């Protein structure tokens, strides 16, 4: 079995400041987190400061194109050149607000890997989809878009984040059992194509994770850490969440 490592990622969304980069990086750098891979995803203009602080850094989105007349878009190669190593693709806010389809998300995933960035593929069902019993179908289609375009081997250098849309920013976390069920479904689905890859794959949970619920969530067999939104803007909470990931994988 390939070794996985616990990971905690912080998605700042359109929040944060140079002062917050300093506060968060101090909290991370002053604690002992060598067993946990920590990555922060600030807005684009804060990426250089975050990298300079010594914290692993990623971008919140990336263009699927390489260059050209795409005003406001950012190419993966430039993100890599700055020194960032990760990028979120398919976050639910990008899917719903910016209408990114599964195909567009797969194209962004491909472009990120081509430029040497590790994509974190975000997947998850809406409340209605869950109520209609479509959770597995929705999550499978989101992952299949990448597998169909690039082959299952492309998942080797990636991370998957399961984030039920109804739990993001709502304070309604999936229970550890609900989250574990979907994480196991994801790992089993990939294992049916490529067993070793599935065992080595990092699968994060996201959606209203905080320092009170992180320990139980991270203790689940197929949950390898978290993708944290709101609580990643508070140094103490984020450090406590990172601490709770120790020894869980």
Binds ligand PGA by CB under 6 A, chosen from 16, 90, 207, 225: 207
Q: Is 58 in the site for ligand PGA (CB under 6 A)?
A: no
Q: Are 158 and 200 in contact (CB under 8 A)?
A: no
Residue 169: which residues within 8 A CB-CB, separation 6 or more? 208, 229, 230
Residue nearest to ligand PGA according to CB distances in the complex: 229
Closest to 94 measured CA to CA, from 122, 66, 65, 125: 122
Residue 118 backbone dihedrals phi, psi, to 5 degrees? -90, 115
What the block records as the tokens of 160 is 């998957």
Angle, alpha carbons 181-91-229 (nearest 5°) = 80
Count of residues in contact with ligand PGA, rule CB under 6 A: 13
Q: Is 124 in the site for ligand PGA (CB under 6 A)?
A: no
Q: Is 10 in the site for ligand PGA (CB under 6 A)?
A: no
Q: Is 16 in the site for ligand PGA (CB under 6 A)?
A: no
Q: Are 224 and 246 in contact (CB under 8 A)?
A: no
Stretch that binds ligand PGA, among 61-69, 143-151, 187-195, 222-230 (CB under 6 A): 222-230
Measured from the CB atom, the residue of 10 and 80 that comes closer to ligand PGA is 10
Q: Is 229 in the site for ligand PGA (CB under 6 A)?
A: yes
Judged by the rule CB under 6 A, the positions of this chain that interact with ligand PGA are: 11, 163, 168-169, 206-209, 227-231
């Amino acid at each position: 079995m390939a070794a996985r490592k616990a990971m905690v990622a912080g998605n700042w969304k359109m929040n944060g400041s140079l002062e917050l980069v300093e506060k968060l990086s101090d909290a991370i750098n002053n604690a002992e987190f060598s067993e946990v891979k920590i990555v922060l995803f600030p807005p684009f203009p804060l990426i250089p400061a975050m990298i300079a602080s010594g914290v692993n850094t990623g971008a919140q989105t990336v263009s699927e194109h390489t260059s050209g007349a795409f005003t406001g878009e950012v190419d993966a190669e430039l993100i890599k050149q700055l020194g960032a190593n990760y990028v979120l693709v398919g976050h639910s806010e990008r899917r719903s607000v910016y209408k990114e389809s599964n195909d567009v998300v797969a194209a962004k995933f491909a472009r990120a890997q081509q430029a040497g960035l590790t994509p974190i593929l975000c997947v998850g069902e809406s409340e209605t989809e869950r109520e209609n019993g479509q959770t597995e179908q929705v999550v499978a289609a989101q992952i299949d878009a990448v597998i169909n375009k690039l082959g299952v081997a492309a998942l080797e250098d990636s991370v998957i984040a399961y984030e039920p849309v109804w739990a993001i920013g709502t304070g309604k976390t999936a229970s550890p059992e609900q989250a574990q069920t979907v994480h196991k479904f994801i790992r089993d689905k990939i294992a049916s194509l490529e067993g070793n890859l599935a065992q080595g794959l990092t699968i994060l949970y996201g959606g209203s994770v905080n320092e009170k619920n992180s320990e139980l969530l991270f203790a689940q067999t197929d949950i390898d850490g978290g993708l944290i939104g709101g609580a990643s803007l508070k140094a103490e909470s984020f450090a406590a969440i990172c601490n709770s990931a120790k020894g869980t994988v």
